[in-house]
Amino acid sequence: MSDDGIWNKLDENYEETQTHARLLKEYMGKLQDKRTIKEPVEAHIAIKDNTPAISFDESKKSETVSKQPDIIKPPETAEPPAEHPVTPQQSNQSSEKAARDFETMLTAKSKVDVHDKEEYATFLLWDFAGDEEFYHTHQTFLSQDAMYLVVTKLNEAEDPNAQALFRLWIDSIHCYSRLEEGNITSDKTTLGDNDPPVVIVGTWKDAVTSETDSKKIEIACRENLLKYTNELADNERGHVRFEYFISNKDDECSAFQQIRKNILKLARGMRTWNIDYPLKFIQLEQRLQEKKKDLPIISFKDIKHISTDTPKPLNEEELILFLEFHHELRALVYFRDLPDHIILDTQWLSDAFKCIVTAEKFQASTKNQKKWNEFYHTGKLNYEVLEDIFKKETTILYDHKDYILKVMEKFDIIIRPNKSEGANENPYYYVPCMIKADPEFDIYKMFNVTKDIDKRSTWMCFKFRFLPPHLNNHLIASLSRKYNIAERVVTGQKERQIALFKGTAIFELQETTKCRKLLVMTCPNVIQIQVWEFGEVIKRGLYKYIADFVTEELNTIMHTRFKMSNVKFEKKWECGLTEPKCVTGSNKFMEEPITEYQCDTCQIKHMFIDEWSDQHNKGAREQMQFDSSLAGKCYI
């Protein structure tokens, strides 16, 4: 890759050669710095003794690495983790291995030019699946430290569905923006630019207009592009760096060359470009590249062994730092709370997701047809369907299916119900993004909820400027881990059906009596919840614990788990008798206490109970405390 936008196609061993180059240049640079040699290094030089002749500068740690979460250390009272001592035999083996590596790098001199001053970078390219079922998996791979090429058809600019899909991608990318962090990078085009950067590529330039004049074609393409971007917020527009229009008939080499050139320009402005990087990390990278050729997944035990079998071994703290750093770059997948395995080939993980979160056309089974139909319709993933899926795949995927399922649970791509299976029952899951079914009829009639303000709480609404498409699924997953999903009896059917529908779920807040249920729904850019009360009378503060739990979970999902710093919501409320599809969340929670309000839905006055908080109770308690402090005292 060079500044003129010309990218050379490299052979399949380039990744290994490139690692050799990084190591060899660093080795030779340090040898020359220490004046240990005056002549170029020859292939016969070997590393001997316990300490290699090369000096490792361990102080060089990248800015990105330093920003990683602190390593969790055990309490001072706990026994420190035992370090495995390096035996003389292991030390000699490491030295011999280092010598062989060094010879390999020198032997590869025809491929490695130690005098090459050009900058190189490894690009990880992701082509996301376009089917709606896959949208929920994209969050796994979206990152702040990435560039995005958003490709759209210019000849479909009038299509509302095409416009909505374009906005979905821009909105999703904006969720991961570093807008609040100042966006400090080294190569900003303008002060208003936001990271991550986006390059828009409009295709079908040749189908936009019948004009032949190039200027008129350019104007027509830009007018169509503006139809896509018309609804974007100002800070979302700050992500767009370049826009290109491509013909589907003419091979415009110059246009593609310009795109490549500007991708390189953007890459140089990323915070992960050309950062200082511990040399011992490169050694481990080299070992993992060798492993990756044979295995897409590796155990933590094995990678720990590999990390200690290098000339300059990594301790466990450094190893975890290495894994977390590369996880942030999506070069591998590692979770501190799922430490048993590390996924070396992220494309393999993506393919594993596709096995389960799949469009109907990709899978078929006659033997378990009814359970497959249930999966497509209700999102219920039975054990038999899982076996069908994994048996069709590679042996290594089948062998690691339990870990894959845990990863999918972690991302809430699948949900394991809060109900333990019996001794003879196989586990099952729900896949929210596969749920296609809407409620068969009115949700209130389904559970015999009367139109009574004493039975339905007010609506509590979490209003977003943009609601990420997967956020409600995460909330439903969180609630399902705390409460059971409600079930309903269906006439003529032996088995009960769970109340989990597309964009809607109902939970049992009182599992024993079933006298209190929670309704969770999504409308455009709103998550709304309501409690149905079949037992006691609704009173002030009664459902504060639910409001607090949902609020805390949403903030955790957005800001802690997925670092979506630009996703925010405000809490509103509305009369509980308002039909779900008509809820707008037009009322603010006020600091000043109110006792009644004029309802726009019912066109009458209602008592304001404030069941979602104890703000009024707090005010009353403070007033009581103030009054009691005056008791027995006389003031003139």
Looking at residue 386, its pLDDT comes to 86
Domain final residue, candidates 432, 457, 474: 432
Question: 97 and 184: one domain?
Answer: no
Write out pLDDT tens, residues 356-384.
Answer: 776 555 555 677 888 888 888 788 888 88
Give the C-alpha separation, 514 to 297, whole Å.
45
Q: Strand 487-488 to strand 497-498: parallel, antiparallel, or no bridges (unpaired)? A: antiparallel
In a domain, 127, yes or no: no
Q: Is the peptide bond before 417 cis (omega within 30 degrees of 0)?
A: no
Question: 576 and 596: one domain?
Answer: yes
User: What's the rounded mean pLDDT across residues 206-222?
Assistant: 88
- SS3 state at 364: coil
**Is 50 exceeded by the pLDDT of residue 596?**
yes
Question: 613 and 494: one domain?
Answer: yes
- SS3 state at 333: strand
Percent share of the chain, pLDDT over 90: 22
Q: Domain tally for the chain? A: 4
**Is 90 exceeded by the pLDDT of residue 551?**
yes
Question: 298 and 357: one domain?
Answer: no
Question: 234 and 325: one domain?
Answer: no
Dihedral of alpha carbons 294, 295, 301, 304, sign: positive
In a domain, 628, yes or no: no
**Is 70 exceeded by the pLDDT of residue 58?**
no
Question: 334 and 361: one domain?
Answer: no
Non-local CB neighbours of 330 within 8 Å, separated by 6+ positions = 124, 126, 141, 143, 146, 346
In this structure, what CATH number is given to the domain that contains residue 515? Answer: 3.30.310.200
In this structure, what CATH number is given to the domain that contains residue 73? Answer: 1.10.10.10
Full domain range(s) for residue 526: 443-621
Domain final residue, candidates 389, 408, 432: 432
Give the amino acid at 534.
Answer: F
**Is 70 exceeded by the pLDDT of residue 594?**
yes
| Residue among 375, 384, 387 at smallest CA distance from 432 | 375
CA 476 to chain centre: 17
**Is 90 exceeded by the pLDDT of residue 349?**
no
H or E element, residue 203: strand 198-203
Give the C-alpha separation, 399 to 396, whole Å.
5
CA 87 to chain centre: 42
Neighbours of 26 (CB within 10 A): 17
What tokens appear for 170 in the block? 């821009």
In a domain, 287, yes or no: yes
Partnered with residue 572 across adjacent β-strands are 461, 588
In a domain, 362, yes or no: yes
Partnered with residue 587 across adjacent β-strands are 573
CA 469 to chain centre: 12
Structure-token match 């850019």, residue found: 525
pLDDT band at residue 41 using 50, 70 and 90 as cut-offs: very low
Question: 317 and 387: one domain?
Answer: no
Give the C-alpha separation, 242 to 251, whole Å.
20
User: What's the rounded mean pLDDT across residues 461-488?
Assistant: 89
User: What's the rounded mean pLDDT across residues 278-296?
Assistant: 85
User: Which segment, 126-135, 347-356, 506-515, 602-611, is predicted with the most confidence on average?
Assistant: 506-515
CA neighbours closer than 13 Å in the CB half-sphere of residue 323: 26
pLDDT band at residue 632 using 50, 70 and 90 as cut-offs: very low
In a domain, 363, yes or no: yes
Q: Strand 587-588 to strand 569-574: parallel, antiparallel, or no bridges (unpaired)? A: antiparallel
User: What's the rounded mean pLDDT across residues 521-535?
Assistant: 92
Looking at residue 152, its pLDDT comes to 93
**Is 50 exceeded by the pLDDT of residue 223?**
yes
Question: 548 and 458: one domain?
Answer: yes
Structure-token match 């845990």, residue found: 406
- Per-residue exposure over 514-545, b if at least 16 CB sit within 10 Å of its own CB, e if not: eebbbbbbbbeebbbbbbbbeeeebebbbbbe
In a domain, 134, yes or no: no
Domain final residue, candidates 376, 405, 432: 432
The full DSSP string for 211-229 is ---HHHHHHHHHHHHHHHH
- Does the model's pTM come out above 0.75? no
- CB 516 within 8 Å of CB 510: yes
Question: 613 and 472: one domain?
Answer: yes
Non-local CB neighbours of 333 within 8 Å, separated by 6+ positions = 327, 342, 343, 346, 349, 407
Looking at residue 119, its pLDDT comes to 62
What tokens appear for 589 in the block? 């929670």
Looking at residue 466, its pLDDT comes to 82
- SS3 state at 384: helix
**Is 80 exceeded by the pLDDT of residue 317?**
yes
pLDDT band at residue 462 using 50, 70 and 90 as cut-offs: very high
Using DSSP, how many helices (H) and how many strands (E) does the chain show?
A: 20, 20
Write out pLDDT tens, residues 250-261.
Answer: 766 788 888 888
**Is 50 exceeded by the pLDDT of residue 619?**
no
- Per-residue exposure over 192-207, b if at least 16 CB sit within 10 Å of its own CB, e if not: ebbbbbbbbbbbbbee
In this structure, what CATH number is given to the domain that contains residue 388? Answer: 1.10.10
Question: 150 and 233: one domain?
Answer: yes
User: What's the rounded mean pLDDT across residues 537-566?
Assistant: 89
In a domain, 463, yes or no: yes
245-248 contacts: CB < 8 A, separation 24 or more?
245/154, 245/202, 245/205, 245/217, 245/218, 245/221, 246/201, 246/202, 246/203, 246/205, 247/204, 247/205, 247/206, 248/203, 248/204, 248/205, 248/206, 248/207
Question: 364 and 288: one domain?
Answer: no
Question: 475 and 612: one domain?
Answer: yes
What tokens appear for 359 in the block? 């469009």
Write out pLDDT tens, residues 81-122.
Answer: 444 454 555 555 555 655 555 555 555 444 555 566 666 666
Write out pLDDT tens, residues 169-210.
Answer: 888 888 877 644 444 443 444 556 888 899 999 999 988 888
Give the C-alpha separation, 457 to 452, whole Å.
9
**Is 60 exceeded by the pLDDT of residue 6?**
no
Write out pLDDT tens, residues 393-447.
Answer: 778 888 898 898 998 888 888 888 766 444 456 788 888 877 877 887 889 999 9
In a domain, 539, yes or no: yes
Looking at residue 51, its pLDDT comes to 30
